[in-house]
């Protein structure tokens, strides 16, 4: 038995964002735009903001968004009686927008009550429209937001059916100017979504198919974009792959790669994509023997004769994109590994196809130190 559900309307294509002000979710409504200061400074985004004529613009989203970020945005939404929240940016902006749009309709002052203290959302949120400017997180179509709680030193995703955006506008043209290291981190985050959606204990046929297709496209087109960052065909393919990977994991959820990523970004401030990519090769080596040939099938679909060839390709893509592959490159002192191991046992670890112990992670970190 399985269920598939995706309530988000998707508009996809080059220059799709140009008509954002004409969408019924935007036109004639009090709109608050959520972004970060870097994205806001881009001329194309400035033009989008002007077309939308928002009630307010919140550009204080941090790379790893926090509980405090969400709480501040929530106050702005309430002050402006927002009718629509328009998130423009990477996963951080979209996650912040989704969480605040849900909190704003409650009487609570902080998202912490829902992020780590057990409360659940029961009211209809302010509608959220998403415009991703990276090809990575898939947050434009997922019911998930990942937040840091700096006071509790705690990073975790939160999920609710009410987090689904009502509409996603995916315009690959907005990714053309991304630096290569950002492209690498975000696209490899999308690859981790495809892999983990595929091997999650909760995987199902539609998501499996989408996961394999997303990974195949990434392996085929990321080298092309490395060679030619302005390639319209390559950027369009990667935006489609990231969107597809988001759909692939939004129901099965993630597993050990993401569980291990949380302390890496929370304590060491690696970007989310770099943190997910950091353990990817070793996670595949660990899980493949427990998957009854399914990982071999995944690799073959992506054009590889063997799993190890796929793993070596991932390592190559990481290095070429300037992402850390060893403890030293990531700025991780070996004395911190025991803390990272302990803090990796997030509930997502329970989705892993193979049980993971502290000793298993210790062996993985030893390999990452010795490369």
Q: How does pLDDT run across 233-271, given as a tens digit for each residue?
A: 999 999 999 999 999 999 999 999 999 999 999 888 899
Q: What is the rounded average pLDDT of the residues 354-358? A: 98
- Residue 120 and residue 251 in one domain: no
User: CATH number of the domain that 85 lies in?
Assistant: 3.40.50.1970
- Residue 189 and residue 143 in one domain: no
Indicate the pLDDT class of residue 42, thresholds 50, 70 and 90. Answer: very high
- Residue 31 and residue 170 in one domain: yes
Q: What is the rounded average pLDDT of the residues 204-220? A: 98
Question: Which residues are within 8 A (CB) of 359 and not within 5 positions of it... i.e. 6 or more apart?
Answer: none
Residue 21's Cβ-count burial label (10 Å; 0-12, 13-18, 19+) is middle
Distance of CA 222 to the CA centre of its chain: 17
Confirm whether 1 is domain-assigned: no
* Domain-ending residue, one of 159, 174, 189: 174
Domain count, the chain: 2
265-319 tens-digit pLDDT: 988 889 999 999 999 999 999 999 999 999 999 999 999 999 999 999 999 999 9
Confirm whether 4 is domain-assigned: no
Q: What is the rounded average pLDDT of the residues 194-205? A: 98
Q: What is the rounded average pLDDT of the residues 59-70? A: 94
Distance CA 20, CA 117 (A): 37
Indicate the pLDDT class of residue 371, thresholds 50, 70 and 90. Answer: low
First to last CA, the chain: 43
Confirm whether 362 is domain-assigned: yes
Neighbours of 307 (CB within 10 A): 18
- Residue 300 and residue 203 in one domain: yes
- pLDDT at position 246, please? 97
Confirm whether 3 is domain-assigned: no
- Residue 191 and residue 280 in one domain: yes
- Residue 167 and residue 195 in one domain: no
Residue 271's Cβ-count burial label (10 Å; 0-12, 13-18, 19+) is buried
The tokens for 29 are: 């409504």
Confirm whether 349 is domain-assigned: yes
The boundaries of the domain holding residue 282 are 181-370
- Residue 53 and residue 81 in one domain: yes
The answer to whether the CB of 349 falls within 8 A of the CB of 259 is yes
- pLDDT at position 155, please? 86
- Residue 349 and residue 272 in one domain: yes
The tokens for 303 are: 């054009």
Distance CA 307, CA 83 (A): 48
- Residue 200 and residue 301 in one domain: yes
* Domain-ending residue, one of 158, 174, 190: 174
* Domain-ending residue, one of 174, 199, 231: 174
């Amino acid at each position: 038995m399985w269920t598939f559900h995706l309530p988000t309307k998707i508009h996809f294509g080059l220059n799709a964002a140009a008509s954002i002000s004409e969408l019924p979710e935007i036109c004639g409504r009090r709109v608050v735009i959520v972004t970060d200061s870097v994205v806001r400074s881009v001329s194309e985004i400035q033009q989008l903001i002007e077309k939308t004529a928002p009630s307010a613009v919140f550009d204080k989203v941090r790379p790893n968004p926090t509980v405090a970020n969400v709480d501040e945005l929530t106050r702005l939404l309430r002050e402006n009686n927002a009718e629509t929240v328009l998130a423009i940016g990477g996963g951080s902006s979209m996650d912040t927008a989704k969480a605040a749009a849900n909190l704003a309709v409650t009487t609570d002052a902080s998202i912490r009550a829902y992020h780590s203290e057990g409360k659940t959302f029961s009211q209809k949120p302010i509608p959220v429209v998403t415009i991703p400017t990276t090809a990575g997180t898939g947050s434009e179509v997922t019911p998930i937001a990942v937040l840091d709680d700096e006071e509790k030193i705690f990073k975790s995703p939160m999920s609710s059916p009410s987090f689904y955006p009502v509409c996603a506008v995916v315009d690959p043209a907005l990714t053309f100017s991304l630096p290569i290291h950002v492209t690498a981190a975000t696209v490899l985050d999308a690859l981790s979504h495809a892999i983990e959606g595929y091997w999650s204990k909760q995987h199902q046929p539609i998501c499996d198919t989408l996961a394999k297709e997303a990974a195949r496209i990434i392996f085929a087109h990321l080298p092309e974009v490395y060679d030619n960052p302005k390639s319209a065909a390559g950027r369009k393919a990667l935006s489609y792959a990231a969107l597809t990977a988001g759909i692939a994991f939004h129901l099965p959820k993630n597993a050990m790669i993401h569980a291990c990523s949380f302390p890496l970004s929370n304590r060491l401030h690696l970007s989310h994509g770099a943190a997910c990519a950091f353990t990817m090769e070793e996670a595949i080596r660990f899980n493949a023997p427990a998957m009854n040939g399914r990982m071999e099938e995944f690799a073959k679909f992506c054009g590889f004769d063997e799993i190890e060839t796929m793993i070596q390709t991932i390592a190559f893509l990481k290095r070429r994109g300037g992402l850390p592959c060893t403890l030293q490159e990531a700025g991780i002192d070996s004395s911190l590994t025991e803390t990272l191991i302990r803090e990796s046992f997030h509930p997502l670890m329970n989705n892993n196809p193979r049980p993971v112990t502290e000793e298993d992670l210790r062996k993985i970190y030893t390999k990452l130190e010795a490369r």
